[in-house]
Amino acid sequence: MTTTTGTAGAAATAVAPAVRQAGAVNDDAIRTHGLTKRFRSGQVAVDGVDLAVPRGAVYGFLGPNGSGKTTTIRMLLGLVTPTAGEVHLLGEPMPRSAARVLPRVGALVEGPAFQPYLSGRANLARLDAVDASADPRTARTRADAALDRVGLGAAADKRYRQYSLGMKQRLGLAAALLRPRDLLVLDEPTNGLDPQGTREVRHLVRELADGGTTVLVSSHLLAEIEQVCTHVGIMGAGRLLLQGPRAALTARRGSQVVVRTAAADAPAALAELRRLGLADATAGRTLADGDVTVTAALPGPSDDGTTAPPPPEVAAALVRAGVGLLGFEVRRPSLEEVFVELTGEGFDVAR
Ligand SMILES: Nc1ncnc2c1ncn2[C@@H]1O[C@H](COP(=O)(O)OP(=O)(O)OP(=O)(O)O)[C@@H](O)[C@H]1O
C-alpha cells in the first residue's frame, strides 16, 4: 500500500526550518530533523538536513558530487554517527531501533564487501547466511531470484573479480534485494552502468515501488533518474535546497507557453496573451518558413498569488481572438533548470 503523508507530500517548498508536526514523524519512511555531520577536518558535509520521504515514494536524492548525499545516507543507516540531529526510519528512531528496523531496509552503499574469488552466487549466499532470520533451506532460491532480478543470472557462477564495474554494481543491488524490503536506500546505483544498465535500474526501481517498497535513490546525474521519481530532494553544499513531489518542483517555477503562428497573426497573439495576464509575452524567432514563435511565462502557483489561465484555456482564447494556431506547446523547466535557477550554479559544481 502506498500513502503520501508529511511535508514531502504537500506542495514543494524551498526548504524552510522544519515544522515538527505531532504524529508526522511516524508516517514517513524516512524522516530526519536537523541532521548534521561535521568531520574531524572541520568540514560540515551535511548541514541541518530535514528529509521527509513519504511511504511508497521513489525519492530522488540529487545533488552534485560532494554535496553530502553519501554522508547523509550513511547517517540514515547508522554507518556514520551524526554530529547533531535525529533520524527516523520506518517510524523508528535510529540508531536505537537499528536491530529491529534494518532487516526491513535494503541498502546499496559503496558496495558490500564481496569476496573476489567467490562467484556472484556464492557471494550472495555468504551475505544471506549472515542474516539470522533467513531460512538456509531456501538460500539458493533467494540468491538466484535476486541475481535474475538484476540481470546477472547468466554470470552467477563467474568470480566476482572477473565482473565488470557494472556487474559489480548489479551484484550490490542483488544483495539489497535478497529479501523483501519495506525501504531500499540506493546510493548512486547507476554508477558504472551503461545506458542499457541504467534503464534497467530505472525499470527495477519502478517495479519495486509498484510492489509497495519505498525507494530512496541518490544520483549526481539528475536527468538519469529524474523520470522515475515521485519525489525529489536536491542537495547543494551540504544543505537540502529543495524537496517535494517532483511535478510540483518544476511547476512552481513556472512553465512557458510557446505559440507558433503566421507572422501576420503574431501581434494578435501577443495582445491576447497579455490580455490573459501573461505580461511578458514576446514575439521570438521568425522561423525559416516565415512563421513566428511567441513565448510567455505561465506564473507558477507560488509566484505572488498571480494566476494564469490553464494552458487549454490559453489556447482556446487565442483561437477565439482569431489567431491561426500553427503550434501550441507548454514547456516545463527540467529539474536541472530549477536547480540552476535556485543556486545560480551548474549541477556539476563540487566543493
Ligand atoms: N570521512 C570524511 N572525512 C572528511 N570529509 C569527508 C569524509 N567523507 C566525506 N567528506 C567530505 O564531505 C563532503 C560530502 O561528501 P559526500 O561523499 O557525502 O558527497 P556526495 O554528495 O555523496 O558526493 P558524490 O556524488 O561524489 O558521491 C565532501 O566535501 C567530502 O569531501
- Determine the pLDDT at residue 9: 33
Per-residue pLDDT at 2: 32
- Which residue, 91, 90, 95, is CA-closest to 35? 95
User: Looking at the predicted structure, is the pLDDT value of residue 183 above 90?
Assistant: yes
More confident residue, 83 or 173: 83
| Range with the poorest average pLDDT among 18-27, 79-88, 98-107, 114-123 | 18-27
In this structure, the residue with its CA closest to atom 31 of ligand 1 is 66
pLDDT of residue 215: 95
Q: What is the reported pLDDT for 144?
A: 93
pLDDT digits (tens, 9 = 90+) for 2-53: 333 333 333 344 443 343 444 444 689 999 999 999 999 999 999 999 999 9
Residue extent(s) of CATH 3.40.50.300 domains in the chain: 7-16+24-250
- The whole-number pLDDT of residue 23 equals 43
61: which strand partners?
218, 233
The stretch 145-150 carries a mean pLDDT of: 90
Per the prediction, the chain carries an average pLDDT of: 83
Residue ranges, CATH 3.30.70.260, the chain:
254-332
Residue 75 reports pLDDT greater than 70: yes
Q: Is 7 in the pocket of ligand 1 (CB under 6 A)?
A: no
Residue 312: strand, helix, or coil:
helix
* Close Cβ partners of 318 (under 8 Å, ≥ 6 residues apart): 259, 269, 272, 273, 325, 328
Residue 351 CA: nearest ligand 1 atom is 29
pLDDT at 207: 85
User: Which residue CA neighbors atom 29 of ligand 1 most closely?
Assistant: 66
Residue 122: phi and psi, rounded to 5, are -65, -35
The whole-number pLDDT of residue 111 equals 56
Q: How many Å lie between the centroid of ligand 1 and the Cα of residue 345?
A: 19
Residue 71 CA to ligand 1 center (angstroms) comes to 6
What are phi and psi for residue 75, nearest 5 degrees?
-70, -40
So what's the pLDDT on residue 338? 77
User: For ligand 1, is residue 68 a contact (CB within 6 Å)?
Assistant: yes
- Looking at the chain, the whole-number percentage of residues with pLDDT higher than 70 is 86
- For residue 350, pLDDT over 70 is answered with no
Take residue 349 and report the three cell numbers written for it: 559544481
* Alpha-carbon span 318 to 72, nearest angstrom: 49
15-24, 220-229, 311-320, 339-348: which has the minimum mean pLDDT? Answer: 15-24
Cβ of 350 closer than 6 Å to ligand 1, yes or no, is no
Task: Supply the pLDDT for residue 252.
Answer: 59
- Fold held by 7-16+24-250: Rossmann fold (3.40.50)
Average pLDDT for 290-298: 87
Establish whether residue 70 lines the binding site of ligand 1, counting it when its CB lies within 6 angstroms of any ligand atom: yes
Q: Are 233 and 61 in contact (CB under 8 A)?
A: yes
219 lines ligand 1 (CB under 6 A): no
The tens digit of pLDDT for each residue in 241-277 reads 889 998 877 765 667 899 999 999 999 999 999 999 8
Tell me what pLDDT residue 281 has.
86
Distances in Å between the alpha carbon of 69 and those of 47, 147, 260, 330? Answer: 11, 27, 42, 33
Closest CA to 105 of 219, 214, 225, 218: 214
DSSP for 243-282, written as a single string: EEEHHHHHHTT-EEEEEEEEGGGHHHHHHHHHHTT-TT-E
Whether the pLDDT of residue 206 is over 80: the answer is yes
Residue 304, pLDDT score: 56
Domain 254-332: which topology?
Answer: Alpha-Beta Plaits (3.30.70)
Sign of CA dihedral 196, 202, 206, 207: positive
pLDDT band at 306 (very low <50, low <70, confident <90, very high): low
CB 156 within 8 A of CB 147: yes
Give per-residue burial for 117-144: e unless 16+ CB within 10 Å, then b: eebbbbbbbbbbeeeeebeeeebeebbb
Average pLDDT over residues 55-60: 94
Ligand 1 atom at minimal distance to the Cα of residue 219: 25
* 123 pLDDT higher than 80: yes
ipTM: 0.95
Least confident of 22-26, 80-84, 316-320: 22-26
63 lines ligand 1 (CB under 6 A): yes
Q: Which of 44, 46, 49, 70 to mutate to test the pocket of ligand 1 (most atoms within 8 A of CB)?
A: 70
User: Omega of the bond prior to 95 within 30 degrees of 0, cis?
Assistant: yes
Cα separation, 152 vs 121, whole angstroms? 9
CB 144 within 8 A of CB 66: no
Written as one letter, the residue type at 274 is: R
Pair type for strands 105-108 and 183-187: parallel
